[in-house]
Structure 1
Amino acid sequence: MKRRIFIKSGIITTTALGLIPSSVFAVPEYSYEELIGKGNPKLFGDAINLRKEAYEAFIAMKKAAAAENLNIKIVSSYRDFFRQKSIWERKYKQYTGNGMTQEQAISKIIEYSTIPGTSRHHWGTDIDIIDSNAKYPGNDVLDPVKFEGKGPFRPLKVWLDKNAVTYGFYLVYTDRPGRKGFKYEPWHYSYRPLSLPMLEAYKALDVKHIITTEKVAGAAHFSDSFVQRYRRENILDINPDLLP
């Protein structure tokens, strides 16, 4: 039987997490399977699918936004390894089928999508959100343009900029100058009190082992240098407030 590997991330203080009772505590242990999207976390909320604490914080945030006539809708939350793998391989097939080399396809995919086993959406702490009260054309709702200027989700973005951290949610992939990795995602928020220790635990894992073991499309091109850069830029070059 396959042995479950557990990762312990140490001690984190109130200052690091915010919104946590004023005491120092041991961080929970997370299994290897749990961190790469192959676990079975207990999730809460119909069409919400978050860990209990993140779910409760989201409901509180949603209620507060509703008072401003904003209806926060989750477009994506928890995704397991196999769902992420299907997204990855669909895009890989599409891009290579349109004439891209395998290396070009990989570079294109990781503008916005993660390699299976490396997604923050595996943790039940992260959400992609829009305002379902807004009127918008087409089906491509996760478009940065829609969150800026006169875009339909601009009022929600303004509200989130002022209020999201009150509920423990932080933007992950910011528009900070010089940030590398995934492109700016004004819709992607992470519940910091849980995702912070989970990222700390994840940092102890061997990323190359994770992304090559399952033989996902293009894995032959995940060289050591590619993996090092992907870990540094796509996994760790995020909002500094979400770094352990």
Structure 2
Amino acid sequence: MSTILANACISGQSDSHLAPLSECETFGCRLHPNIIEPLKILADAAKKQGFKLKVFSGFRSFNAQMSIWNAKSCGKRAVLSADETVIPHGSLQGWDLVQAILRWSALPGASRHHWGTDIDIIDAQAINSDYNVQLTQKETQEGGVFEEFHRWLTPWLEDNPDVGFVRPYQTPTNADDNAFGIAPEPWHLSYAPAAKIFEEQFDLDFLAQIIAGSDILLKNEILENLPEIYNRFIRVSG
């Protein structure tokens, strides 16, 4: 694909940059074409160790991300603190609520999942069919259902940098917990060679336009603080 990307692709309003569904069948979700072969390498490596890599979330459209955002804004979905406890609905308002949501959920139009280069992965071998995956740090840590998978995955990623996967949310983006930085997400992998192109062409002015024209909740607070949101919750290193 061209290295000149349409804003609609970067913001999740178009899926024209993704591989055809037939090419993504192995993983059950739409993906950027350049991630498919590296992901097969990772899945094969996991299989040799007794794991069954499953892409829990791949491409997510602007509207899908806005549905998550609005549900958290109005209390239909839980908003979590840094230690993954539920923040009672109504205890935070306005800008404080925006920051709390951004700890675990990307702003619509600015999610890396819009690009198809980023995925959330789990070990399907470790759970029963009725298990409700939460995508929490507790699941990946000692005693967690995906502990063994992540104990293997971390050194594998370090030992195989040429495959191209990184964890963009490996460490907190802000050391001051009161500042509501992005929480680490060890399950979130980014195919760096492709994601870098989207990062470089991200347009904050365009994001402001689509937020202003959308039905997103907390719109005024978002627009008033958009430069700070970009610096703390959108721009990442690694």
Deviations 1:135-155 (A, max 9, x none): 479514301011112322122
Q: Distance in 1 between matches of 2:115 and 2:183?
A: 20
Which 5+ residue runs of structure 1 have no aligned equivalent? 1-25
Closer, same or farther in 2 for the Cα pair 1:177/1:202, shift >3 Å? closer
Indicate if the aligned counterparts of 2:66 and 2:108 stay in contact, CA closer than 8 A: yes
Runs of 4+ displaced beyond 6 Å: none
Partner of 1:157: 150
The CA deviation at 1:204 is 6.2
Closer, same or farther in 2 for the Cα pair 1:95/1:48, shift >3 Å? closer
Closer, same or farther in 2 for the Cα pair 1:177/1:109, shift >3 Å? closer
Indicate if the aligned counterparts of 2:104 and 2:182 stay in contact, CA closer than 8 A: yes
Deviations 1:15-47 (A, max 9, x none): xxxxxxxxxxx9711001111001123334121
* Corresponding letter in the other structure for 2:165: F
User: Do residues 121 (structure 1) and 106 (structure 2) align?
Assistant: no
The CA deviation at 1:178 is 4.3
Partner of 2:83: none
Question: Map of 1:66-105 to 2, 5 A cutoff?
Answer: 66-94=47-75, 98-100=89-91, 101-105=93-97
Q: Distance in 2 between matches of 1:227 and 1:181?
A: 15
Indicate if the aligned counterparts of 1:27 and 1:197 stay in contact, CA closer than 8 A: no
Which 5+ residue runs of structure 2 have no aligned equivalent? 78-87
* Corresponding letter in the other structure for 1:157: H
The CA deviation at 1:231 is 0.3
Question: Map of 1:108-187 to 2, 5 A cutoff?
Answer: 108-135=100-127, 139-164=132-157, 165-175=161-171, 178=174, 181-187=181-187
Q: Distance in 2 between matches of 1:186 and 1:205?
A: 30
The CA deviation at 1:176 is 5.2
Partner of 1:191: 191
The CA deviation at 1:168 is 1.0
Indicate if the aligned counterparts of 1:181 and 1:230 stay in contact, CA closer than 8 A: no
Q: Distance in 2 between matches of 1:59 and 1:209?
A: 37
Deviations 1:35-64 (A, max 9, x none): 100112333412132111101111121011
2:40 counterpart (52, 59, 62):
59
User: 110-119 or 137-146: which moved more?
Assistant: 137-146
Q: Distance in 2 between matches of 1:121 and 1:63?
A: 23
